[in-house]
A and B are shown apart, each in its own frame.
Chain A
Amino acid sequence: MPEHDGLMRVFWPTDIATSDLPGVIVGWRNSGLDVVVVAVLDHVDPKSVEGALKAGILLRGAPHDLDRIERLCGHSSMHVLGVTNPESAPEGKFIIEPSWVLATTGPSLRVPKVKCQVASSVQTISFERPIPNRMQYISLDPMALALADKGDPSLLSVSDGSDAEDEKQERRHRQKRRQLVDKLKLHSVVKHAPSMKDKALSRIVNQVNWAWELEHLMQKNVSLIGTRPKRTLSVSERVVEQATTMRDDAILWVWDKIIFYVFPIVRRIFILTLVSHRAAAEIFLMILEWRLRPSSPALKDISATAQQIEIRLQQFCYWPMQYVKLRLRKNDWASVTTSHPDYIRFYNSLWLVANDVIIGIAIGSYIIDNAGWVADQIGLLLRQYTVEALHSSIEWLMGWPAGLKLNKELALFLGDLFLWVIEYWSSCITTLQPLLPHIIWFIGFSSFAGASMPIAMFSDLVSILTIHIYSFYLASARIYHWQLTILLSLFQLFRGKKYNVLRNRVDSCDYDLDQLLVGTILFTLLFFLLPTVVVFYLNFAVARMAIISLKAVFDTMLSCLNHFPLFALMLRVKDPRRLPGGIRFELRDTQDRLKLDSNSSIAFSSHPPTSVIYLKPIPLSFTAMFHQYFQMGNRIRKHYLSPRVLFCLITGRFVPPIHRKVLYSLQYSMLPAKRADIIQMWDALNSLPAKKRPLGIYPYGKQFINMPSLPNGRRANGRRGAP
């Protein structure tokens, strides 16, 4: 029988008030000998406590719905679990049931000594209660900072063929692993059925999270047990009460009127403004996402600026929804932990935007003040690196680069071709030069919308101003690739073979003599011309790689500004218990082990073998916080540092730049895949409950005055402000 193996498990909060007075332990009984202690009530009778728990008196005046407790903690009501310090109670006060926990507590004992009549061994698991008002909680699994409402593969189904190949390979790999895991399952011979105690763990986690709030509620209501209702107030007492509360009542009345008449108008105006902004954002988003054909790239896929604007607009669309979700949290118990990751995400994105704007104002004012100087510097850099450096390198290649003797005529031809285009481009840049200060000024001005804006614009500016290098790279790669394929097929001819397209293999073939002769001569010619083409190709490929790395630096800066887990990091330093990353147990030495050893027979009869265990939360690891970054880094590494890319580079095939969508997978960890449309937002904003009177803001400090659940007579008795 797994339930009655004689193991008693007691979860005991270390921070409940402990005294050496007799008290009644109240909490959840998950199964026979598996209990979670919530509160110890002093000066009460166990029987009346049991009655009060059944009648729900102890949870009277609960600020929110009681059904939530049942749903999350798994039981409809708490039970009397046992008593503390039964020895010091007067004889006959407690009639002890066999399954009760008998605990010895005291101010000096950190962990109570627990025994039970039917238990042969005891696990005392003590925990420090997470405080729900500070949004602390524990969880079995690490908290997910990223939004997970979509499958990753669907998001990455980029039209690019190469990525699809990677994807396919990864899927095959995953399938193989799954098969291995399934095979591993066959290895276990005996399947141990989990006992009730094993199954209760997830419920216990919830009960631990609820312990603080429930205990405070019960301690507040403990005066309602057993004592008879007091008499109603006399007339003179009422007069005194009226007089003392007159001022408060007047303020309340004024406040009520404001809430009732002014607040709805302000709110309505605010909602209308928000929705009209949302509509404008929708139009911009549609422009940014517009595609000529379903397969062609949208504006946001091409330009970093467009992408940046899109992120900001998407965030703007998502914030009201997030805010509504967080507002609804206030109408629920603080112990419900499901919306805490949302809270962190919301404030993280707000904080990042604020940060971004602050940095942006600093950068922007600098750029605007020094627009002329900055434009001069940029023009100088542009001329120096994208025109003159290229010019000199081509001229170097036209001579004898590094002592290599190239084909002079071909080198001259190719060099002249490129030089001619560079001449033309440099004249373009010269006409652009006077415009540059204005562009820089515009960029500086845009940075008041955040430092990410000028970075994105500079990234785009680099793309535009180096377009000639890109085209050189394309042209030289094309020439090189053609030559290489011709050489390969001529090599087959040289060997007397031929590539069979229909069968995808190399067949032998009988060539005529003149065919062989011409082919071989052409092969020799092309082979000797190859080095000349290679050096030109390499030159431009290196330049292209340099530009890609520069843009990668810009993109890294952008992703840091947009998605850095700043709020989570701050919370990790300030209060690690708000970022749970799992739980751990610590086995403590039993305090009276020495005594147990010396006269174990006597000790055993009074206290069963007990292990004292501490349950502690693990804070979220830094690796988990930066998980998204690692994933993105992995993806970039897989794209650029793969053998396939190297092969493409060597054979002169086009190396596809990584898709912006992959680069910005981070974005999709913070935003929903599909944004809520205007009507949804309108509904959500209007569904917010109206503002309440400011009375309920001290849920544990004061009695509630206007709680409808309180019966009338009681209310008059428990005087206002009574503890």
Chain B
Amino acid sequence: MLTTAPHLHIRRPSPTTTEFTVSTLPPQTLPLRLLLAVVNLLRLLLGITVLLVLYAKWSLYSPYTAPASPPEALSLASLANALQHVLDSAPGRLAQRAAAGTPAWALGPAALAALYAAVRRVHAAESLLVLRGLGIQTSSSGATVLGAAATRFIPTEKIQDVLINEAFRGFEVRHYLIVVVDGEEDVVVVFPKLLPRRDVVERVWRGVRGCLFDVKPRPKDDDGQARGNGRRTNGKI
């Protein structure tokens, strides 16, 4: 419901620069926005709760006690004081009770799993930026909201070829776009996580060639071009 099948979005501010983005984000409608907002709020709450429980567990064993007199503002002591106030509130007491009730060996992995669920990215987005005269840049969003997108820039000089490959994956055949880099053993797979469907990949391939090498698509055998030039070599992902 929150995600769709990977679909393509093209940005082309000038004919020499194109960005192809494949994402699982569905079209933004009002109900979807509301739903996303609710989900994100829930995740935020979950994260805060887990942190609170962890802090409560730590304060059970901690040798430090809150200072009696109110400390000066903006110091470590005042921070500890504020945290103590949080623990003394109603949800804080609940967290304390939960922390006291769960053993440490169960709390650790559970908290880790909950935190991962809280920071995990809902939508994946992968993009390919083509700049004529400069090169190709692939990028892929990280698994969590904390991590930045992993990018890889390949200068045009090093691009040997861009082609569509096919491979078996489980019981299906997948078509995927690869960049063969000069002097490297491994090819670079574009959209490695989402692996969009063949029609999307073909559109991107044609766009890349048009943008990067200024190859005009022949109107006659528009479909045959991919077959003719983008040779299919069999491989496995």
Contacts and interface: CB of A to CB of B under 8 A. Distances in A.
Interface string A174-192: 0001101100110111101
B155 A188 contact: no
B14 interface: yes
A123 B16 contact: yes
Contacts of A618: 151
Contacts of B129: 585, 587
A564 B13 CA distance: 46
Contacts of B160: 184-185, 188
A582 B17 contact: no
Interface in A1-21: 5, 7, 9
A7 B16 contact: yes
A7 B132 CA distance: 9
| Residue from B14, B15, B161 having most chain A Cβ neighbours under 10 A | B14
B180 A587 contact: no
Interface residues of A, number: 41
Contacts of A582: 152-153
Contacts of A188: 160-161, 180
A168 B132 CA distance: 43
Contacts of B131: 123, 585, 613
Nearest to B19: A587
A107 interface: no
A310 interface: no
Contacts of B163: 187
A198 B14 contact: no
Interface of B is mostly: strand
Interface in B1-35: 11, 13-17, 19
A611 B11 CA distance: 10
A192 B133 CA distance: 12
Given A187-B180, A192-B213, 18 more contacts: A7-B133, A9-B134, A181-B184, A184-B160, A189-B229, A198-B133, A201-B134, A201-B157, A585-B153, A587-B17, A587-B19, A589-B11, A589-B13, A590-B13, A608-B14, A610-B14, A611-B17, A618-B151
Contacts of A190: 229
B234 interface: no
Nearest to B160: A188
B139 interface: yes
A197 B213 CA distance: 12
A5 B231 CA distance: 29
B137 interface: yes
A263 to B, nearest CB: 48
Interface in A199-237: 199, 201
B137 A584 contact: yes
A115 B200 CA distance: 34
B14 A123 contact: yes
B40 to A, nearest CB: 24
Contacts of B16: 5, 7, 121, 123, 611
8 contacts: A9-B134, A123-B131, A140-B155, A187-B231, A188-B160, A189-B229, A197-B134, A583-B153
A712 B28 CA distance: 71
Contacts of A612: 13
A195 B214 CA distance: 12
Nearest to A178: B185
Please provide the 4 A-B residue pairs with the shortest distance between their CB atoms, ordered closest to farther. A197-B133, A611-B17, A609-B14, A188-B161
B231 A34 contact: no
B19 to A, nearest CB: 5
A198 B155 contact: yes
A11 to B, nearest CB: 10
A657 interface: no
Contacts of A9: 133-134
Contacts of B233: 187
A587 B128 CA distance: 11
Contacts of A609: 13-15
Contact of A610 (B13, B133, B184): B13
B157 A611 contact: no
B137 A585 contact: yes
A185 B139 CA distance: 25
A593 interface: yes
Contact of A187 (B155, B161, B214): B161
Contacts of A185: 160
B15 to A, nearest CB: 6
B133 A123 contact: yes
| Residue from A187, A194, A585, A618 having most chain B Cβ neighbours under 10 A | A585
A122 interface: yes
Interface string A379-410: 00000000000000000000000000000000
B153 A5 contact: no
Contacts of A122: 14
B156 interface: yes
A187 B19 CA distance: 26
Contacts of A140: 153, 155
A176 to B, nearest CB: 11
Interface string A566-603: 00000000000000001111010110010000000000
Interface in B176-213: 180, 184-185, 187, 213
Contacts of B139: 584
Nearest to A198: B156
A7 B13 CA distance: 13
A9 B131 CA distance: 10
Contacts of B19: 587
A26 B234 CA distance: 52
Interface string A108-129: 0000000000000111010000
A28 B171 CA distance: 55
B205 to A, nearest CB: 14
A610 B17 CA distance: 9
| Residue from A5, A201, A587, A609 having most chain B Cβ neighbours under 10 A | A587
A197 B155 CA distance: 11
A528 B180 CA distance: 62
Nearest to A5: B214
A187 B165 CA distance: 12
B212 to A, nearest CB: 8
Contact of A34 (B14, B133, B157): B133
Interface in B148-177: 151-153, 155-157, 160-161, 163
Nearest to B136: A585
B214 to A, nearest CB: 7
Contact of B133 (A195, A584, A587, A608): A195
| Residue from B134, B213, B229 having most chain A Cβ neighbours under 10 A | B134
A589 B19 CA distance: 11
A610 B16 CA distance: 9
Contacts of A178: 185
Nearest to A586: B129
Contacts of A184: 160, 180, 187
